[in-house]
Chains A and B, each alone.
Chain A
Amino acid sequence: MKDKRSILKYFPLLMLGMIGILPLFMTSNYYQTICCQAMLYAVVALGLNFIVGLSGLMTLGTAAIYGLGAYTSALCCTKLGMNPWAALVPVLFMGWLIGKGLGYPSLRVQGVYLSLATIGFNEIVRSFLTNLEWTGSGTGIRNIEPYRIGDFAFDTQIRSYYLIYAVLLLFIGIAWKIVNSRWGRAFVAVKDNPEALQICGIDIANVKITAFTLSSVFAVVAGAMYAHFNRYITPATYTTDLSISFVVMLIIGGLGNFWGCIYGAYIVAFLPQLLRPIGLSYKLIYALIMMCLVVFFPNGLIRDMKKYLTFKRALKGGAASENNSQDR
């Protein structure tokens, strides 16, 4: 039993290793593109986990932040001729700015009101991007150059895959560090016991704003990577639907569950593609599966499966000891 548990403990690392070697077996551009999308979603979900998962604040404006990251980087490169790596500086600044900007309203409004405020933010950003001429209006920005290191351009699917994979590993490391730091504990305390936090002399406002800022930084970087990977962006991508999808990733992975963010991102990215052979009804089935997952695994797929297995094991153990006593 102990061996099984220790294997399970290393499962996330095994999974990350598998993601790393996946393109060696999966040479299809189609699947590699979806994997890249899933990895970018995972970065966003890891950041969103600070707000929704740990701090318990419901935000539905993440797609707009993701989009602003994409547009900042794309505009810096196409209009100002900046190097994509250098464009990460204004991108990070944008993340910081949005985090502060969204963090302050979160001090005044909570629950459903915060959700509505962030939906409003999402729509405002999308409307601006659609209507401003210098953002390419409704048809967006084309010919965004890929990242380069010297003469080596990340311009093929496989190269982009490993670049995004490296970014994912980097952000997993950062997120892990944050979650296990005093900041991570403060985020959880905001959700579970804000009064205790105040008694300890910790500024709740500061904690919330930090959660928003960190989350925004993760989202803008993922957005920038997306722009240079796709090389074309359009405001139609950054809808409230996408924001909801990010939250769904967290819910499926388990709110506050660190590795669940990555499982959730992969499930949300891959499940619709796997269901496509069913035909036009695949979206209906996807929605039903999502509903079932949320209803039957409210704490996330992994956590509830673990609970179920532990419960089953306990039942078996109980039955076995009963049998043993009867035998005796």
Chain B
Amino acid sequence: MFTFIVRRIIQTIPVLIGVTILTFSMMHLIPGDPAQIMAGESASPDQIELMRDRLGLNDPLPVQYFDYIRGVVTGDLGNSIRSGRAVSNEVFLRLRPTIELAVYSTILSVFIGLIAGVFAAVRRGGLADSFVMIVALFGLSLPNFWLGLMLIQYLAIGIDIFGINTGWFAASGWGTWQQQVLPVLTLGTAGAAIIARMTRSSMLEVIDQDYIRTARAKGVKERVVIYRHALKNAMIPVVTVVGLQFGTLLGGAVLTESVFAINGLGRLMVDSIRARDFPIVQGGVLIFALLFVFVNIIVDVLYKFLNKRIDLN
């Protein structure tokens, strides 16, 4: 297992190099002169030249790249144009709500997705199965900003039904549970739908396997057959989906944070893009990529742990 984890980490090195090349190139791919942008619209040619020198833009590209890498490794991601503060500080300050949002949403979508998927699979072809699958299709098709706005409208602002106001939750911010429910629901819905569908099809495949028949022939209770013998096998492909889903989730966080006015990394990035604060955007993308790689290592380890058939070496 240890060798496997080490190998898996080594394998991420090319990915990390790719990611840094990509974020590094962002500076050069944006339209216009980075030095001009950094120095501001009204800067004089001298100021721009000074900026160019400070940014090392006069050096050959490989040198610039290695300077950048050195910065990344030492935690120096440059300074924000707007605030002038270190990018690493700005980004890390905002990281916590985003990670919380992503993790809670993942937990919610796995929880709901698994239960709904198993529920539907066990009732294959029945009304309950169709119902769950239709709801999942809705969940999958709803744009997440729209869902967020609807939730705010009906569960934060609230409407009166039989004299009860449904405005139970907060419409913005992050911290109290009232503030967290709606964003997590918004972000988790699509994932729950995908996981439900995946779990269902995976369960259906597993339920037809010979070893399930063996378990029944042993006199195992149906509930135990489903949750002990079938689900553990059905989880194997689901885990992979959860890992991939995490990437989508980070993307979704950008929108969700905007809708719910959460001071997270996603919102920071949207604001920075609008303000052309490229060092922040660059740092944010890098952090997102690192998070994604990290989560997928965890998923792989989990996958191996579940799937005994794969030789760890």
A and B together in one complex: no
Binding site for A on B (CB under 8 A): none
Binding site for B on A (CB under 8 A): none
